[in-house]
């Protein structure tokens, strides 16, 4: 019996399903993919794109082409409400989509809290990743007319990598800039001290100022005000203030976890709706808290691929095992990286070479033919 599968979002956790979409269609099912854009950008290579190490084509997946070449239907747009009992999705366009099985991989956004961004200011949140491309183009224009003042707000991995790779972009263009990283309470506070020390040493060697022990209080056009009263002028600012899932699930009356993500069980389906699945940053995993890192979305790939088809056909589901310790390598924008896994920390060129190899291999696994030649 033909059933309708709807994938909302073309993120990391849906990539295996997208790659094997033809198999689902050949079994007689309809598949619809709803995504804000034709392309999904790989966040792990985003700072490298900002620096110019990678072209936009090298770090993106053509979700529309993956869908349509496999016999699915692609709808550009956003889901604004879920009627889970009635199995209906409501889109911003006003369209209603009925489904038998749905899966969400809608990622996360940067929470601004009480902050407001003035109209026309060169302020970029680090998500969606496309913002980093916009920032790169803006900085390239500013470099031609002077030495821009650049502020990066956020002391986690995103803030670190954006500050480091902004430096590379500036110097690759033969320019100069004043770069300040406002790192909140403490740079890389949730990582081993050796990671923090390697990061600070790398930034200081390039005269990137690191401010700790204070937080951003307000933004005006061209100026940031910290909660200790310090005022920092800027020409371009990046906001890397952590991530949060969309309010879509809570607004739709579905159960959510402490972070607001759709609450799912070990099979990655909503705890109250066994026909609604999810993966990546937009979910809250009931069995145990999961960090908002891409590795979990990648590990969820094969489980979602199996369970979505199994749900369509009434077969047995398989549980998701988050696995053990994961590896993170930070791109420091100078041809070097910082490697961290459990108690093993080291930095240098080989760390970046390893990250580059892993990232490029991941892209080759899921990019459709000819993607890098598309503009």
Co-location of 13 and 152 in the same domain:
no
**pLDDT tens track for 333-342:** 999 999 999 9
CA gap 189, 186 in Å, rounded = 5
Residue 68 resides in a domain: no
CB 308 within 8 A of CB 103: yes
Number of domains composing the chain: 2
Co-location of 131 and 183 in the same domain:
yes
Co-location of 275 and 158 in the same domain:
no
Co-location of 265 and 189 in the same domain:
no
Residue 25 resides in a domain: yes
Domain's final residue, options 311, 326, 341 = 326
Q: What is the DSSP string of 247-271?
A: THHHHTT--B-TTSPEEE-TTSEET
CA distances from 80 to 101, 228, 252, 352, 361 (A): 17, 39, 9, 39, 35
Co-location of 307 and 339 in the same domain:
no
Any residues with CB less than 8 A from the CB of 353 and at least 6 apart, and which? 337
Residue 57 resides in a domain: no
Residue 375 resides in a domain: no
pLDDT band at 373 (very low <50, low <70, confident <90, very high): very low
Domain that holds residue 146: 123-242+328-366
Co-location of 160 and 32 in the same domain:
no
Residue 360 resides in a domain: yes
C-alpha torsion 229→127→237→363, nearest 10: 140
Q: Does pLDDT of 374 surpass 50?
A: no
Q: Residue 162: which CATH number?
A: 3.50.50.60
Co-location of 210 and 353 in the same domain:
yes
Q: What share of the chain is helix, strand, coil (3-state, %, to 5)?
A: 35, 25, 40
pLDDT band at 322 (very low <50, low <70, confident <90, very high): very high
**pLDDT tens track for 5-61:** 999 999 999 999 999 999 999 999 999 999 999 999 999 999 999 999 999 999 999
Co-location of 143 and 193 in the same domain:
yes
Cα 323 vs. chain centroid, distance in angstroms? 21
Co-location of 286 and 317 in the same domain:
yes
Co-location of 215 and 257 in the same domain:
no
Residue 9 resides in a domain: yes
Co-location of 335 and 354 in the same domain:
yes
Q: Does pLDDT of 4 surpass 50?
A: yes
Residue 43 resides in a domain: no
Q: Which two tokens stand for residue 187?
A: 């740079």
Residue 179 resides in a domain: yes
pLDDT band at 368 (very low <50, low <70, confident <90, very high): confident
**pLDDT tens track for 69-97:** 999 999 999 999 999 999 999 999 999 99
**pLDDT tens track for 119-165:** 888 999 999 999 999 999 999 999 988 899 999 999 999 999 999 99
């Amino acid at each position: 019996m033909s059933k309708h599968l709807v994938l909302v979002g073309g993120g990391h956790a849906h990539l295996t399903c997208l790659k094997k979409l033809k198999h689902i269609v050949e079994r007689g099912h309809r598949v619809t993919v709803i995504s804000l854009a034709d392309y999904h950008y790989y966040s792990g290579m985003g700072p490298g794109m900002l620096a110019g190490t990678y072209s936009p084509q090298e770090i993106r997946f053509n979700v529309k082409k993956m869908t349509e070449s496999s016999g699915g239907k692609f709808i550009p747009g956003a889901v604004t409400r879920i009627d889970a009992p009635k199995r209906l999705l409501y889109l911003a366009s006003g369209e209603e989509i009925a489904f038998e099985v749905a899966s969400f991989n809608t990622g996360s956004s940067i929470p601004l809290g009480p902050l407001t961004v003035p109209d026309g200011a060169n302020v970029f949140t680090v998500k969606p990743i496309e913002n980093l491309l916009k920032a790169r183009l803006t900085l390239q224009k500013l470099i031609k007319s002077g030495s821009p003042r650049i502020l990066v707000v956020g002391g986690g991995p995103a803030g670190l990598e954006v500050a480091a790779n902004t430096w590379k972009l500036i110097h690759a263009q033969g320019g100069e800039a004043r770069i300040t990283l406002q790192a909140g309470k403490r740079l890389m506070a949730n990582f081993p001290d050796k990671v923090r020390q390697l990061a600070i040493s790398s930034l200081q060697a390039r005269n990137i100022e690191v401010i700790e022990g204070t937080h951003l209080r307000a933004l005006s056009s061209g100026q940031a005000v910290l909660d200790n009263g310090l005022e920092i002028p800027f020409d371009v600012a990046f906001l890397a203030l952590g991530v949060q899932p969309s309010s879509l699930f809570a607004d739709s009356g579905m159960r959510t976890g402490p972070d607001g993500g759709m609450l799912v069980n070990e099979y990655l389906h909503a705890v109250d709706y066994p026909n609604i699945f999810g993966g990546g940053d937009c979910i809250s995993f009931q069995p145990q808290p999961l960090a908002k890192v891409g590795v979990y979305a990648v590990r969820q790939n094969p489980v979602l691929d199996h369970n979505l088809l199994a749900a369509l056909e009434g077969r047995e589901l398989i549980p998701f095992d988050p696995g053990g310790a994961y590896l993170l390598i930070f791109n420091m924008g100078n041809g070097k990286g910082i490697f961290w896994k459990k108690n093993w920390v080291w930095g240098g060129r080989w760390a970046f070479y390893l990250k580059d190899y892993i990232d490029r291999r991941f892209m080759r696994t899921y990019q459709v033919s000819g993607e890098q030649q598309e503009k």
